[in-house]
């Protein structure tokens, strides 16, 4: 079962903690989005392996943009 | 020879120094310290602190009417009502009304959080402040600097300095003042409420929003026109997409320039003789009361709306109805994430937050209409 990590808010990705292939557990911090001059950590929605990273550090995201897929 | 030296001494400021002035130096230096080392609203508290120092240097005459340099900034910038509206022009260009349009019922939270303003107005009046002073003190509860300055200039210029400092201090202290109140007023389960995704807002809606609100608000509360007109013009620059240069200059260069000319004269209104009075302490206390009540009523209103609505609102968003943008929204977001890591409230909180700005301006407009 694959689950997508969508951007919960618009902003700029300033840090991605994981690489494709990394295993994550639910509630692990996966990346940080900066919005309104505040860093918002984004947490993994489920256990699994990072299958694909669609965006990289420095990218601007809109709400609901696909950032990564966890499998 | 001795006479000559004593005459020379009498021409220096040192001879005319009063203890009150030295107390004001301490206050000014404290504000500068807080700005520099704690980062409390440095863009304003730093020049305000410096302005306090300047006006309490005897014989310098910088605030001498018609002559002093800082007096000219004060007169042509603030008394002429130029700077606060220009700040609103920049804020309008910076403001994204998207979250508000996507979730229009959150407007009520921005209105609910103005209750502290009116409540404090009545308390201050009961405590012996006259109506105009009471209104100026109440508006501190909106936690909106330029609006406070705008209203103080028109209703109670003698309170301008202290009310502005109170408003900006409480804005800086939002992350300290609000969380205990929010924790007290909400349950863990309420803080965990996740907001239902808002719909996507179309470009055209964002374009019409400043126009429509300008019409509605100014027709209803004409006295709010100076601030609302500039706020909505700035926002129209932003959303129209055809005047990128004006949009950019309004939210960057112009905003910086007027900010530069705002703090210094505001600080310079705080001369020892007018500032060091017992009522200044009351102003700070009442300002804090106003601000705390606004936080509470915002939360209570959100809870009240939840009683009648199927899709629940996270009551933390109510606290974001005070207009300290974006600090209050950030606080709501952080508290939400504390309760549930995957609860991202920031963008939802921006809705009541920008509604709070409009709410405070309208409150100021209503005071102006009634009292001037």
CB count within 10 Å of CB B160 equals: 24
The closest alpha carbon to B294, from B158, B156, B109, B81, belongs to: B109
CB count within 10 Å of CB A17 equals: 15
The closest alpha carbon to B201, from A59, A63, A4, belongs to: A63
CB count within 10 Å of CB B335 equals: 21
Separation in Å, CA of B257 to nearest CA in chain A: 21
Of B326, B342, B350, the CB nearest to A45: B342
Q: How many alpha carbons fall within 13 Å on the CB side of residue A65?
A: 16
Which residues of chain B from 178 to 197 reach within 8 Å of chain A, CB to CB? 197
Measured CA to CA, the distance from residue B342 to residue B340 in angstroms comes to: 5
Cβ–Cβ contact A27 with B under 8 A: yes
Of A9, A27, A37, the CB nearest to B344: A9
Cβ distance of B330 and A45 shorter than 8 Å: no
Q: Which residues of A touch B333 (CB under 8 A)?
A: 38, 40
Q: Which residue of B has its CA nearest to A42?
A: B342
Strands A38-43 and A29-35, by their bridges, are antiparallel
Cβ–Cβ contact A8 with B under 8 A: yes
Measured CA to CA, the distance from residue B252 to residue B258 in angstroms comes to: 10
Q: Which residue of A has its CA nearest to B195?
A: A8
Domains in chain A with CATH codes: 3-70 (2.40.50.100)
CB count within 10 Å of CB B189 equals: 9
CB count within 10 Å of CB A55 equals: 17
CB count within 10 Å of CB B208 equals: 14
Measured CA to CA, the distance from residue B47 to residue A31 in angstroms comes to: 38
Best B195, B320, B341 member to test A by mutation, with max A CBs in 10 Å, is B341
pLDDT per position as a tens digit, A9-61: 888 999 999 999 999 998 899 999 998 878 899 999 899 999 889 999 999 99
Cβ–Cβ contact A55 with B under 8 A: no
Q: What local confidence, expressed as pLDDT, does residue B323 receive?
A: 86
Cβ–Cβ contact A40 with B under 8 A: yes
Q: Which residue of B has its CA nearest to A27?
A: B341
Q: Which residues of A touch B94 (CB under 8 A)?
A: none
Does residue A1 carry a pLDDT above 80?
Answer: no
Cβ distance of B330 and A38 shorter than 8 Å: yes
Measured CA to CA, the distance from residue B111 to residue B363 in angstroms comes to: 9
Q: Which residues of A touch B350 (CB under 8 A)?
A: 36
Cβ–Cβ contact B337 with A under 8 A: yes
Measured CA to CA, the distance from residue B16 to residue B57 in angstroms comes to: 9
Of A10, A27, A43, the CB nearest to B347: A10
* The CA-based dihedral angle spanning residues B293, B297, B299, B304, taken in that order and rounded to the nearest 10 degrees: 160
Separation in Å, CA of B183 to nearest CA in chain A: 21
Domain ranges of chain B: 82-371
Cβ distance of A40 and B346 shorter than 8 Å: yes
Q: Which residues of B touch A10 (CB under 8 A)?
A: 347
Averaged pLDDT of chain B: 94
Measured CA to CA, the distance from residue B51 to residue B260 in angstroms comes to: 12
pLDDT per position as a tens digit, B14-51: 899 999 999 999 999 999 999 999 988 899 999 999 99
Strands A23-24 and A3-6, by their bridges, are unpaired
Question: For A3-44, what is the HEC assignment?
Answer: EEEECCCCEEEEEECCCCCCEECCCCEEEEEEECCEEEEEEC
Predicted ipTM beyond 0.95: no
pLDDT per position as a tens digit, B42-89: 999 999 999 999 999 999 999 999 999 999 999 999 999 999 999 999
Residues with pLDDT less than 50, chain B? none
Close Cβ partners of A4 (under 8 Å, ≥ 6 residues apart): A66, A68, A69, A70
Of A9, A27, A43, the CB nearest to B346: A9
CA distances, B93 to each of B86, B125, B150, B215, B245 (Å): 11, 36, 19, 18, 11
Q: Which helix (H) or strand (E) holds A5?
A: strand A3-6
Measured CA to CA, the distance from residue B267 to residue A35 in angstroms comes to: 32
């Amino acid at each position: 079962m694959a689950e997508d990590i969508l951007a919960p808010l618009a902003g700029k990705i300033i840090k991605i903690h994981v690489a494709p292939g990394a295993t994550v557990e639910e509630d692990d911090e996966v990346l940080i989005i900066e919005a309104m001059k505040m860093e918002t950590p984004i947490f993994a929605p489920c256990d699994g392996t990072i299958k694909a990273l669609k965006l990289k550090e420095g990218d601007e995201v809109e709400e609901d943009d696909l950032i990564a897929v966890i499998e | 020879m001795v006479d000559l030296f004593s005459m020379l001494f009498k021409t220096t400021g040192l001879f005319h120094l009063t203890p009150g002035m030295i107390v004001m130096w301490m206050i000014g230096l404290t504000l500068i310290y807080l700005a520099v080392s704690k980062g409390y609203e440095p863009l304003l508290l730093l020049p305000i602190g410096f302005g306090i120092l300047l006006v309490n240097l005897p014989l310098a005459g910088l605030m001498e009417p018609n002559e002093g340099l800082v007096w000219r900034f004060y007169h042509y910038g603030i008394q002429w009502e130029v700077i606060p509206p220009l700040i609103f022009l920049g804020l309008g260009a910076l403001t994204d009304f998207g979250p508000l349009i996507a979730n229009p019922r959150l407007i009520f939270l921005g209105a609910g959080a103005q209750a502290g303003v009116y409540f404090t107005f009545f308390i201050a009046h009961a405590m012996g402040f006259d109506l105009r002073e009471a209104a100026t003190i109440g508006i501190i509860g909106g936690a909106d600097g330029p609006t406070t300055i705008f209203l103080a200039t028109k209703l109670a210029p003698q309170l301008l300095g202290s009310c502005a400092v109170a408003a900006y201090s409480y804005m800086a202290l939002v992350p300290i003042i609000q969380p205990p109140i929010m924790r007290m007023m909400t349950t863990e389960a309420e803080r965990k409420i996740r907001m239902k995704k808002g719909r996507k807002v179309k470009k055209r809606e964002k374009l019409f929003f400043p126009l429509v609100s300008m019409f509605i608000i100014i027709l209803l509360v004409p006295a709010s026109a100076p601030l609302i007109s500039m706020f909505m013009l700035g926002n129209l620059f932003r959303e129209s997409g055809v005047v990128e240069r004006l949009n950019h200059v309004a939210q960057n260069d112009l905003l910086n320039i007027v900010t530069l000319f705002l703090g210094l004269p505001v600080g310079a209104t705080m001369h020892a003789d007018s500032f060091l009075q017992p009522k200044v302490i009351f102003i700070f206390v009442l300002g804090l009361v106003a601000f705390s009540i606004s936080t509470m009523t915002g939360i209570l209103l959100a809870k009240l709306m939840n009683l009648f609505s199927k899709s629940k609102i996270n009551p933390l968003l109510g606290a974001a109805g005070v207009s300290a943008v974006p600090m209050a929204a950030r606080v709501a977001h952080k508290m939400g994430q504390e309760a549930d890591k995957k609860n991202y409230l920031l963008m939802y909180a921006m809705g009541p937050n920008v509604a709070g700005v409009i709410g405070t301006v309208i409150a100021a407009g209503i005071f102006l209409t009634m009292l001037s």
